[in-house]
Amino acid sequence: MSDPNLLQTQKNEVILIIKESGMNPHEFQLIEGRGWLPKVLHISSGFDFVFGGDSIFCSPGAEQITQEVSQLNWLGKSEMLRKWLTYLKREIEVPDLWAALSQEQELLSIEPAEAVNTPFTADEQVQIKKTIEEIRVYITSTYSLASEPLAKVNRKLDYLIDASTRVGRIDWKNIFVGALVGLVLQQLIPSDSGFQQLIGIAGHLLRHVLGGVIPPPLLH
């Protein structure tokens, strides 16, 4: 039985192809030995690319979760590796719109029984502005945004601060939730663990300004 492991030159080429794709080789692991077919694992997502004898198996594929391509020599496998990296980037960078919609409903459901659509007090407006500025700093320090997306984010946040001085607290809640989830739906920021933290701070803020007594914690 032939050894399924890759030649050292082939292993080196795998790293070069990953670099060419614009991705960081440190995000990947080459797994081989112990009778396994060699594979390149994307560590954080669990997606992988498996080298068979004359075939490859990869996840994600072009149009499905898994894909198999047969009758390939090494040149064909390396070309498929390049294609797989494009599929991988597509799937790990795209926002989870379903999760964003679910989080929107969760935030919209926050409304204590005693909440009424009264204007915010001066102290509440200060608290809202402080929290929105914390959110601004968090977004800009967490995500590498180009100038145009960054400008859109800043306009949304500035509008939320201004709206808190003009509309009632329940109306503002709806504007706030729509703007926050809109950052994901418009693909300005991803729906990743960082966005989960924003949802958490949003929930604290809403409970506070809609009738709660505990001020929201600062983002870290």
CB of 58 closer than 8 Å to CB of 120: no
Residue range 147-164, pLDDT digits in tens: 898 999 999 999 999 999
Confidence of residue 184 (pLDDT cuts 50, 70, 90): confident
Instruction: Give this prediction's pTM.
Output: 0.61
Task: Return the CA Rg of the chain.
Answer: 24
- Among the listed residues 211, 55, 34, 204, the one whose alpha carbon sits nearest the alpha carbon of residue 134: 204
For residue 141, the Cα-to-chain-centroid distance in whole angstroms is 14
Parallel/antiparallel/unpaired status of strands 56-59 and 28-33: unpaired
CA distance 71 to 55: 6
Q: What is the DSSP string of 188-199?
A: SS-SSHHHHHHH
Q: What is the structure's pLDDT at 97?
A: 65
Asked which of 20-24, 26-30, 104-108, 180-184 is least confident by mean pLDDT, the reply is 104-108
Taking 90 as the threshold, does the pLDDT of residue 116 lie above it? no
Residue range 3-41, pLDDT digits in tens: 778 999 999 999 999 999 999 999 999 999 767 899 999
Taking 70 as the threshold, does the pLDDT of residue 78 lie above it? yes
Burial 65-102 (b: 16+ CB within 10 A, else e): eebebeebeeeebbebbebbbebbeeebeebeeeebee
Alpha helices in the chain (DSSP H): 8-20, 74-93, 97-108, 122-142, 147-163, 169-185, 193-209
